[in-house]
Amino acid sequence: MKRQIERLERYAWRALGAIRDRGFTSRLRVDPAAPAVVLSPHLDDAVINCWSLLTADRDVTVVNVFTASPPAGTLAHWDRLCRADDSASLMAERLVEDRQALALAGRQSIALSFAADPYRSARQAPSLSRFDAALVAALPAASLVLAPAVLGTVHPDHMLVRSYALALRGAGVPVELYADVPYAIQFGWPYWVTGEPPHPRLDPEVSWHASGAHLASLDGAHARVVALEDGVAAAKLAAMRTYRSQFAMLDRGPIGQLSERRIHGFEVFWPMAR
């Protein structure tokens, strides 16, 4: 019963949030000389999904969105999976890991310090206006904004970041969505990503559609697929493993999903038409 009430409350506040965000106007300026901005919902998304951009010869800024320390005594489900004793201590550990991982690409990050989904109530999810104000205060202009595509399992934090990015797209800001791993690769990459023949009994894209967050343009015909060279892929794997507190969980333990070269060696992006 409690979970049903929580789901209903989340649905209600999401609906109210959509009404609240109508008429949203961003203050983020478009400037070709400004950095590309990778909106990373959590402390690993940029490295896992945009390593090709982080290691490119381009001005890039990583913006970690949900980095607020949880209340004392909190121990969320995913944190227990990582054998944490306290969510606040784990967040402090993750912040250090993120700095170390980004340093391997010669990058630093900006934190917006919103509370992540396990540590907030549905009514505490930031509005697009609050999101925008926090971002613009730290970074007033961007040449490009990248955000998660929300494929497979729908994470509320990823959905909020994508909603913000699509609102920017509507205001003329160049936006690309990235396939958000590990959610997007529960059943591996589609054949058009890896170049391997389609499996006769498996279509990974069906899980993308079933998430309810699929956009019509998020398909192979509109995608920009990046196949990492061996050295770059190896460096990316080393950076991912820097997230020591999280990696075993993200790697699905003995399955080694993210460690698989045919998984971490590819990144997929979709430029959004304005």
User: pLDDT tens digits for the chain (274 residues)?
Assistant: 545 545 555 554 455 556 667 779 999 999 999 999 999 999 999 999 999 999 999 999 999 999 999 988 899 999 999 999 999 999 999 999 999 999 999 999 999 999 999 899 767 789 999 999 999 999 999 999 999 999 998 999 999 999 999 999 989 999 999 999 999 999 999 999 999 999 999 999 999 987 665 677 899 999 999 999 999 999 999 999 999 999 999 999 999 999 999 999 999 999 998 7
| Assigned CATH topology for domain 2-272 | Rossmann fold (3.40.50)
pLDDT at 12: 46
pLDDT at 10: 57
pLDDT at 5: 47
Domain-by-domain residue ranges, the chain? 2-272
- Type of residue numbered 144: L
* Inter-residue contact 42 to 148 (CB < 8 Å): no
Q: How far apart are CA 52 and CA 250, in angstroms?
A: 20
- What global pTM score does this model have? 0.91
Q: How far apart are CA 46 and CA 59, in angstroms?
A: 14
Contacts for 125 with CB less than 8 Å, ≥ 6 apart? 13, 14, 17, 117, 156, 160
pLDDT at 105: 98
